[in-house]
Amino acid sequence: MDYLIGLVTALSMATFFGIFWWACSQGRQLANRESAQLPFILPDEGEPSTPHGAERR
User: For the chain (length 57 residues), average pLDDT per consecutive 10?
Assistant: 95 98 92 91 74 60
E strand intervals along the chain: none
Q: Which pLDDT value is given to residue 53?
A: 59
CA atoms within 13 A on the CB side of 31: 7
Question: pTM here?
Answer: 0.57
- Rounded to whole angstroms, how far apart are CA atoms 19 and 9? 15
Looking at residue 46, what is its pLDDT? 76
Tallying the residues shown for the chain, one arrives at 57
